[in-house]
Amino acid sequence: MMSEAPHLLVEQKDGIQITTLNRPDKLNALTGQTMRLFEEALIGFRDNPELKVMLVRATGRYFCAGADLRDRSDDKPAHTPREIREKHRLGLHGMHRIYDEMEHIEKPIVVAHQGTCVGGGLELSLSCDFRLAAKSAKYAFPEGKMGVLPASNGVSRLTRVIGAHWARYLIMANLPADADRALTMGLVHEVFPDESFEDDVMSFCRHLAEQNGEQMGAAKIAIELCAELGRDQSRHVERMANSALMLSPDYLARIEAYVKSVGSKKD
């Protein structure tokens, strides 16, 4: 009997870690094995200075159909509301811990939806810094059909990303969104043609990999802080970040070269 293929594939190319959900026959539903391998890949990306960008993608016609409800590897019974809350916080194959780490890592994480992305797959995607969609991608939170909320980023992070207006559409109205509507919502940053999707995604990732790493890390922290703070305090965040960035040798060399080039044009 042949063993099942790994639920996740990892490769490195041009400073980019390509992390691929690999259960196409199960619509890439998330299992305990998937999340364990994903966390290992995430930590590997975090700790390798040669890796500049992490790309999350999938094989098959679905990006992800959500959590695999047939996987009982993390099936600790919950009999009270408090136990359910604790299971969401500490169980679910470590999803909360993993999603928090994705948001804290000071390097960009890109997710590419080549097809339908729903439930837990969309929750994972919301902790990525950039979301790219193929024209045929679709989005939804099916949890509402069972009378519950998507509880691992599906309300908290979703509302921060797209606002209460569109969060009501996806969660309360329980309506799906195609790629173009997802772009309107602000759920995704770009929609690319299906035919060129893989090339467009890699081009985007290579562009990110060429950016200044210190600036990217500081920007990621500053943007998260400024989403929570008022305008005056947000300006303090800007100043604090630049007080370090503007002393870096890279910045000083670039600004000196720029000043010289402008001066030579005037002569």
Q: 201: exposed, middle or buried (C-beta count within 10 Å: 0-12, 13-18, 19+)? A: buried
- At 20-44, the pLDDT tens digits run 999 999 999 999 889 999 999 999 9
Is the pTM higher than 0.85? The answer reads yes
Please, are residues 206 and 14 in contact by the beta-carbon 8 Å criterion? Answer: yes
Q: How far apart are CA 32 and CA 54, in angstroms?
A: 21
My answer on whether 239 and 199 are in the same domain is no
Torsion on CA atoms 245, 249, 252, 258, rounded to nearest 10 = -110
Q: How many domains does the chain have?
A: 2
Q: What is the pLDDT along the chain (267 residues), one digit of tens a residue?
A: 445 788 899 999 999 999 999 999 999 999 988 999 999 999 999 999 999 999 999 999 999 998 876 765 656 676 787 766 766 666 566 788 999 999 999 999 999 999 999 999 999 999 999 999 999 999 999 888 888 888 778 889 999 999 999 999 999 999 999 999 999 999 999 999 999 999 999 999 999 999 999 999 999 999 999 988 888 899 998 898 888 888 888 888 888 888 888 767 665
Quick one: tokens of 53? 């960008």
| CATH number, domain containing residue 140 | 3.90.226.10
Query: Would you say residue 3 lies in a domain?
Result: no
Q: Tell me how many degrees the CA angle 193-198-200 measures, rounded to the nearest 5.
A: 65
Q: How far apart are CA 119 and CA 29, in angstroms?
A: 10
Q: How far apart are CA 226 and CA 231, in angstroms?
A: 8
Q: Can you give the residue range of the structural domain that contains 188?
A: 8-209
User: Can you give the length of the chain in residues?
Assistant: 267
Q: Which own/partner contact pairs does 185-188 have at CB distance under 8 Å and 24+ positions apart?
A: 186/161, 186/162, 187/131, 187/139, 187/161, 187/162, 188/113, 188/131, 188/132, 188/133, 188/137
Q: Helix 32-47 to helix 95-104 angle, to the nearest 10 degrees?
A: 20
Query: Would you say residue 1 lies in a domain?
Result: no
My answer on whether 217 and 200 are in the same domain is no
My answer on whether 121 and 251 are in the same domain is no
My answer on whether 198 and 222 are in the same domain is no
